Structures are given as C-alpha cells and as structure tokens.
Chain A
Amino acid sequence: MEDFVKEIKTKPDVVKNTNGPWRSRVTWQGGLRAKAYMRNHAVTFDEPEGLGATDTSASAHEHLLSAVGACMMTGFVYQGTLKGIKIHNCEIALEGTFGDIRNWAGLTDEGTPGYPEIKAKLYVKADSDRKTIERLWANAWKHSVVTQTVARGAKIIPSLEVL
C-alpha cells in the first residue's frame, strides 16, 4: 500500500492510469436478468420474484448498496493500515428505501425511484481508540469513489444505437 501511495504522489502516469476509464459491459440474460463483465470478472443481476423475475441474483440497486459499502470498507482498511492500526475485523450494514417504486414503473414522475438516503453502519474491532476510528470512518466515506459518485450525483451521459 505504501508503495502505491508513493507512486501516485510522484508519478503522473500512474495517477492517469488509475483514474481510468473503468468499464463495465452489461448483457441481457433474458427476463429481468443481466450479467455485467468488468475486466476479467462477471456479476449477475436479477430481481425478486414479486416483480415477475426469477430472483437468481441480487438486484442492481442492492449491488449499488454493496458497492457503496465495499468501497467505504476499502478506504477504511486502507487508511487504517497506512496509520499502522491493526484491524481485526469489520463489517458494514447498509440500508436504503426507495423514494417511490411507482416512479420506476412509469406510473408517476413524482419523487425519485432511487434511494433518497443510504444508511451505512460500520462494526469494527481494531486496536485503536474510538476517536481515531471515528476519523478513519469519516474519511472512508468522504474519500470513497463509489460513495462520492452516488452522493454527488454523477452526470449520466446516455447514448443509443438501434440495430
């Protein structure tokens, strides 16, 4: 980790390469199922049976919650390790509630179909005092790529090609 920090401090090329672009390709798997390919990895998506889907995987919005949590966890562990704090274990419990599912279904333009807020609670066991851990946690979400993308509302640039 220290080597990486040293590199992004001193080497503009490393910064440029790490900044991206990052990519994902989402393919349709039939029904409401999808599969996303990212570098050499793949993740599947589905919807609960109540929506007429097959519930074979988590929903996209659940992946979003998980991505927020995973990104904050990465930052927390990274910052903690750099400060020499031994983290024995940590876990983040996230929760969000839709603004209005009718908006997603196209029944209204009122409100938002998304999560107006996301709760994230960190459980941690580490060899450090509470104040230090609170600072680490605050930094974890302030500097989290995914959290800040969500919190600042990234500009989405859609385009289309009909075949």
Chain B
Amino acid sequence: MLRHDSARLNIRSRREPFVAKSQLFPVTVVGSWPRPQWLIQALRKRQADEISFDEFNTTADDAVLAAIKYQEDANVDIITDGEQRRDNFYSFVVEKLEGVKLMTLTDLMDYMKDRASFEETLRALDVPAFAMRSPVAVDRVRRKRHLALDEFKFLKSHTTRKTKVPIPGPYMLTRSMWFPGLSDKAYPVIEDLGRDVCSIIREEIVALKEAGCDFVQLDEPVLSQVVYGSEGEETFMCAALASRRDPTEELRYAVELMNLTVKGISGVKLGIHVCRGNWSRREDVLLKGNYGPLLPYLMEMKIDQLVLEFATPRAGELEVFKEYREEKEIGLGIVNPRSTTIEQPKSIERRVKEATRYFDPSQVYLNPDCGFGTFAERPVNDAETAYAKLRSMGTAASNLRKAWEDGGEPPS
C-alpha cells in the first residue's frame, strides 16, 4: 500500500475558490438510464448488423430525448444522455475503435485459463455467459470514431443544463481488452495496449472539453474487483482479470494509466467512478468492503472528483475519508439504483450532512450509487422508479441549499 503522506504530495488541487450557497450540492447521475424496449430491439438489430450505425442512432435519439426530459424534470443539475446509445458502459467502444471485437464470455471461454472458477462466478451471479460481452483487442487499436463526442453534441444541443459524459477509464478498458491468446499478437504485453488506450481516451477528453462538456467521468468499477474479488476469478466486468498481478501492482498500474491519460488537461471537471458492481438486484452477490484500501491510490490520481457509492452498507462508512479531508470532491452515492424503495429527502440530507464532516460543502455532489441501466439488457430499475429517486435527490439538495443559505448550519 502507498503511504498516505506520499499520496498527499501528488494531490491535484483544483478546488473552486468560492461556490455560492445556492449552487451547493449539485445533483447529478452516474450515467445510464433504463432503455425502452424498442431501443433494446434496435440495439439487438444493430448487434446483428441488421441496421446501420446511423440507423440505430436515429432511433436512439428519441430515447436520449426521453432520458434528458426525465433528468430535467427531476431537477438534476448536471445531466448525461443516459448512455442510451450504448450496450453497456464500456463495450460500446467496439463501434468506435478499429482492432477491437465485441466477444461474449461464451466466445472467451475457450481462451480462459480457469474455466471452473469462471463457472462458479457465473453461478454465484446467476447470469448466462452469453449475456456478458467484453471488447477484446484482436489487432492494433485505433480510433474509428470519437468515443463519445457524438453523444455529447446531441446532448448539448438539447439541454441548457450542465453536462456530464461518462467514458470507460484507461485501466478498465486496457484490462478488459487485453486477453491472452487473442490480443498478444498485436500487443505482446498489456502495457503496449495501455499506452494506446490512454492516448485514445486522452484525445476524447480534450475533444469533449473543447466542445463544451462540463464534466468527464472515467469509469473504473473494476478497481473494487482488484481489491475485493477472489484471486484468479474472472468477473462480469473484466473477463481478463484472471491474468492480473497482485492488487498493489494492479492499483499502481491503474494510477499510472490514469495520470498518463489526464496529464496537463484542465478546463473540464474530471471524475473517477468506482462501484462494486451493478448487474444484479441481489445485494448478496455484489462486492462489499469499504473504500479504505483504494483511497491512497485514488488520491494519487490527478482527477477532481471521486464518484463513489455510499447508499448501502456494502460500501462501508464515510469515515475512511478522515485522513483525506477535503483533498478531492466527492460524488456521493446517495440512492440505491437497484431498489424499489424511494429514499426520502430527509435520509439523504442526513447522509450529506455526514459527508460534510470530511468534505467542504462545495465539494459534495449528489448522485445515485451507479447507473439505473448499466447493462442494456439487464437494467436494475425502471424509469419511473429511477425518476422518483432523482426527484428525491433534487428535493434533498434544495432543502440543503436553503438550510445553508439560512444560517450556514447543516440541517439536523
């Protein structure tokens, strides 16, 4: 593990000098919104190559407009396009990159070292191998299209709200795309692929910034698997993770990739999202454990905000930040995207108040723990429930701002 002091030396300090109380506690989302059935049908046709990329996008435009409307009506301050054009949060890159093939875990089984462990994982998760897809580098990876610039431009042209674009983080993309037996011809070692991935993501962030995006979120959920997953176990997120090195080496590599990707970029808020899985509504099959072991590494990353889950006991307590007070912003996971219960504003306000023990109020953003439809075919909630949860967050944020404006005291 890194020593905290050494991590502290590398902190990227980009705190806003002053934030008006009326703008405290911005409400945002992690990214995905449940897709309507007609969009899923279109996505299946696209995957079967029965319709073109452009034909699919024309259909998806309507779904994005609906996702925007839901977020705006729920008083979300920083909105996304609901990731409506994506199959999931990282596999969509196959449409954007050359040299990458979307493979189901069924396809990858023949290349896995330990299929017996993989079978255990599938049974524990209660999922079929064909439903899990991973982009795999089968040749030199080059950009065919921008990863998300087209998504952003459509979003930007249909809202006056601030915007966030989630894109896969460099570690997750590198790890998921490098598969022994398939990738090593083009990239003998994973580090060769990592450099190309960083370059592609970096170009994307710069393009998004120049196009006016306010917030780019780099998704790295697989980092929690590195810390809490079983050794030698392939996962839903990253079939190639079985070839990982020890967790410390992996986390150092993740820091290296992230900092290589974002080096010198300013003028756009950069966040990292790390959760413990969002593929099932069964809490018992999702990873659990606090963020403590990850924090020294996350603090070394030259990013502004940690977008983390804190709505369920699985994520542990906010107290892990006591050694890292006010070092970064927190995107506080405040509602559970997988439950049908709508969190009440009062309980959200209490949790935010707790967060202000470790963060300046200007550093606290409110978001769900994760997306509502991370995987197109397996959304964890319906749009109505997701909307109600966002509404509750919006109400809580409004109450909190008023409380801070009234007396500077957090609500009890």
Assess the A123–B131 pair: CB atoms within 8 A.
Answer: yes
Taking the complex as formed, is B260 at the interface, i.e. its CB lies under 8 A from any CB of chain A?
no
Beyond A123-B130, A123-B131, A125-B131, whether A91 also contacts B106 by CB under 8 A is yes
Contact flags B106-143 to A (C-beta < 8 A → 1, else 0): 10000000000000001100011111000000000000
Assess the A88–B44 pair: CB atoms within 8 A.
Answer: yes
Taking the complex as formed, is B319 at the interface, i.e. its CB lies under 8 A from any CB of chain A?
no
Taking the complex as formed, is A17 at the interface, i.e. its CB lies under 8 A from any CB of chain B?
no
A125 to chain B: which residues have CB within 8 Å?
130-131, 377
Taking the complex as formed, is A93 at the interface, i.e. its CB lies under 8 A from any CB of chain B?
yes
Count of A-B contacts with CB under 8 A? 23
Taking the complex as formed, is A89 at the interface, i.e. its CB lies under 8 A from any CB of chain B?
yes
B122 to chain A: which residues have CB within 8 Å?
93
Assess the A93–B44 pair: CB atoms within 8 A.
Answer: no
Contact flags B98-112 to A (C-beta < 8 A → 1, else 0): 000000101000000
A93 to chain B: which residues have CB within 8 Å?
122-123, 128
B131 to chain A: which residues have CB within 8 Å?
89, 123, 125
Could you tell me the distance between the alpha carbons of A95 and B123 in the complex, rounded to whole angstroms? 10
B130 to chain A: which residues have CB within 8 Å?
89-91, 123, 125
Could you tell me the distance between the alpha carbons of A88 and B48 in the complex, rounded to whole angstroms? 9
Assess the B129–A91 pair: CB atoms within 8 A.
Answer: yes
Assess the B44–A123 pair: CB atoms within 8 A.
Answer: no
Instruction: Report the minimal beta-carbon distance from A118 to chain B, rounded to whole angstroms.
Output: 15
Q: Would you call the interface of chain A mostly helix, strand, loop, or mixed?
A: strand
Instruction: Report the minimal beta-carbon distance from B352 to chain A, rounded to whole angstroms.
Output: 40
Instruction: Report the minimal beta-carbon distance from A39 to chain B, rounded to whole angstroms.
Output: 24
Most buried by B among A90, A95, A123: A123
Could you tell me the distance between the alpha carbons of A90 and B129 in the complex, rounded to whole angstroms? 9
Could you tell me the distance between the alpha carbons of A125 and B377 in the complex, rounded to whole angstroms? 9
Contact flags A4-48 to B (C-beta < 8 A → 1, else 0): 000000000000000000000000000000000000000000000
Within 8 A of B (CB), among A59-108: 88-91, 93, 95
Could you tell me the distance between the alpha carbons of A95 and B122 in the complex, rounded to whole angstroms? 13
Chain B residue with Cβ nearest A122: B128
User: Contacting A91 at CB < 8 Å: which of B44, B48, B128, B377?
Assistant: B128
Could you tell me the distance between the alpha carbons of A3 and B131 in the complex, rounded to whole angstroms? 32
Instruction: Report the minimal beta-carbon distance from A129 to chain B, rounded to whole angstroms.
Output: 12
Could you tell me the distance between the alpha carbons of A75 and B48 in the complex, rounded to whole angstroms? 24
Instruction: Report the minimal beta-carbon distance from B87 to chain A, rounded to whole angstroms.
Output: 13
Could you tell me the distance between the alpha carbons of A88 and B41 in the complex, rounded to whole angstroms? 11
Instruction: Report the minimal beta-carbon distance from B397 to chain A, rounded to whole angstroms.
Output: 39
Within 8 A of A (CB), among B13-60: 44, 48
B377 to chain A: which residues have CB within 8 Å?
125
A95 to chain B: which residues have CB within 8 Å?
123
Could you tell me the distance between the alpha carbons of A88 and B131 in the complex, rounded to whole angstroms? 11
Nearest 4 CB-CB pairs, A to B? A123-B128, A91-B128, A89-B130, A91-B130
Task: Show 15 A/B contacts (Cβ-Cβ < 8 Å), sorted by A.
Answer: A88-B48, A89-B130, A89-B131, A90-B128, A91-B106, A91-B128, A91-B129, A91-B130, A93-B123, A93-B128, A95-B123, A123-B127, A123-B128, A125-B130, A125-B131
Q: Apart from A89-B130, A123-B127, A123-B130, what are 19 other A-B pairs with CB-CB below 8 Å? A: A88-B44, A88-B48, A89-B104, A89-B128, A89-B131, A90-B128, A91-B106, A91-B128, A91-B129, A91-B130, A93-B122, A93-B123, A93-B128, A95-B123, A123-B128, A123-B131, A125-B130, A125-B131, A125-B377
Binding site for B on A (CB under 8 A): 88-91, 93, 95, 123, 125
